[in-house]
Amino acid sequence: LLDSTNIVTPKVSVITNVTIDHQAYCGDTVEEIARHKAGIIKSKVPVVTAAQDTPLNVIEDVAKKQHAKLYVFNKDFGIDSRSAVT
């Protein structure tokens, strides 16, 4: 992976939504882009993602091969937002 996010050993890796808008740099299909983005997944380093569908399948596959625990937004965790009343 030729990406500045890949030059250090992380405590956790984060992959946001994977969409075709990354096509110019990462591949011609969403699957290719997801595989490129999943290049940041390191052995036994947890991964957090909001990816869905095909990109999630790719990320799950790479995480499994790297023995990296995967946390998926809205499946394994979520955000509870509440407005403050003054």
Per-residue pLDDT of 9-43, as tens digits, reads 899 999 988 888 767 778 889 999 999 999 999 99
Determine the Cα–Cα distance for residues 42 and 11; give it in Å rounded to an integer.
Answer: 10
How much is the pLDDT for 85? 61
Q: How far apart are CA 44 and CA 25, in angstroms?
A: 27
The domain tally of the chain equals 1
Q: Which two tokens stand for residue 21?
A: 């808008």
- Per-residue pLDDT for 84 more than 80? no
Number of residues in the chain = 86
Identify each DSSP E strand in the chain by its residue range.
13-15, 47-49, 70-72
Residue 81 counted as domain residue:
no
**Does 86 reside within a domain?**
no
DSSP 8-state symbol, 76 = T
- Domain containing 57: what range? 4-72
* 83 belongs to a structural domain: no
Q: Which residue type, as a one-letter code, is found at position 46?
A: P
